[in-house]
Structure 1
Amino acid sequence: MRMQVDREQEAADCFICRKHRGDIQVHGGTIYEDDLLYVGHISSNEKQAYLGYLIIDVKRHTPGLAELTEREAQSVGSMLTRVSRALKACEKAVHIYAAALGDHVPHFHIHVIPRYSNTPPSFWGLQVREWEGAPRGGQNQIEQVCSRIRAYLREDKG
């Protein structure tokens, strides 16, 4: 019983669960949502965010890959492919990185990070956002990116 109460409290305090409940608003709004998944643009305290940096969240509060149901795992895989295609088609990304870290937020989510042309090889990988020449923008630019990706996903049914 104590473990169940701890999990319920963890979910109540969880940043991702709070976002799904609508307690936290992110720039660009929801790109995609169904009963299993949520996709949105990364939300940060920075004034200029790395454009196209998306997050795929599983809606159910669960800590990691090993705890996903088969249906969740299939949905995550399919959505990862779809948003990667959208980033290449709409934002002209040349490569897509995906990482499930989970060190700071114990709710399964995948970071989907585009790499754009002209990115120096010394910034390839998860440090791609650290390049000073990377495409960045504020709320308006994030909303434009999200709008293009939403439109692409409506047309691309996977």
Structure 2
Amino acid sequence: MTDPACPICAGHRGEGDLVAPVVWRDELVWVKHLVNRPMPVTLGHLIVETDRHAPFVDSLTDEESAAVGRAVRDAARALRSELDIDAVHAMVINTRLEHFHEHVVVRHRGTPDDYSWHQVDEWSDAPTGGPSEVASLCKRLARHFR
């Protein structure tokens, strides 16, 4: 089930501002690399989204909940394997986008302590990349999913 007015559903159809490189997907979830910011982007900021238009975490089915959990775990393991990082953070934030999505964000090694977990994309010395670097990272990350 999709919502024609939902920007995340539109992104799944290849339309709108939330089209992003896909790391991996199955019938329940998508894992994408965030790119809806000016290039270059910080490498390693992933989004796990449900395929079905489910507005909030409490609207997920048991199967979707389990699939999201596996995808977040696999994303964290993949990011640890492919990037030089100190930590992986996962967060669900209900914003204007009423389609369940969970951010999986890395803290690159060397990030100053005054950047908290939700500001790591703001560190100007974080590793960044354009479309080719993001595509290359997505391909490497995809090998870690089942």
Q: TM-score range by the shorter chain?
A: over 0.9
- Find the residue that maps to 2:144 and give its secondary structure: helix
Runs of 5+ in structure 2 lacking a partner? none
Q: How many residues align?
A: 145
> Which stretch has the larger CA shift, 15-24 or 127-136?
15-24
Aligned partner of 2:142 in structure 1 is 150
Amino acid in the other structure paired with 2:137:
V
- Find the residue that maps to 2:36 and give its secondary structure: coil
Aligned partner of 1:83 in structure 2 is 75
Relative to the length of structure 2, the TM-score reads 0.92
Q: Contact 1:32 / 1:39 at 8 angstroms: preserved in 2?
A: yes
Q: Distance in 2 between matches of 1:129 and 1:17?
A: 25
> Alignment partner for residue 108 of structure 2, among 116, 126, 131?
116
Larger Rg: 1
Q: Contact 1:90 / 1:152 at 8 angstroms: preserved in 2?
A: no
Aligned partner of 1:3 in structure 2 is none
Aligned partner of 1:99 in structure 2 is 91
Q: Distance in 2 between matches of 1:47 and 1:74?
A: 33
Q: Contact 2:41 / 2:128 at 8 angstroms: preserved in 1?
A: yes
Aligned partner of 1:67 in structure 2 is 59
Aligned partner of 2:39 in structure 1 is 47
Q: Distance in 1 between matches of 2:140 and 2:14?
A: 23
Q: Contact 1:26 / 1:41 at 8 angstroms: preserved in 2?
A: no
Runs of 5+ in structure 1 lacking a partner? 1-6
Q: Contact 1:31 / 1:146 at 8 angstroms: preserved in 2?
A: yes
Relative to the length of structure 1, the TM-score reads 0.85
Aligned partner of 2:10 in structure 1 is 18
Identify, as 1 or 2, the structure richer in helix.
Answer: 1
Aligned partner of 2:28 in structure 1 is 36
Query: CA offsets per residue over residues 118-153 of structure 1, 9 Å max, x none?
Result: 001111310111111111111111111111101232
Amino acid in the other structure paired with 1:91:
L
Q: Which runs of 4+ in 1 moved over 6 A?
A: none
Q: Contact 1:115 / 1:124 at 8 angstroms: preserved in 2?
A: no
Aligned partner of 1:4 in structure 2 is none
2:124 aligned with 1:136, yes or no?
Answer: no
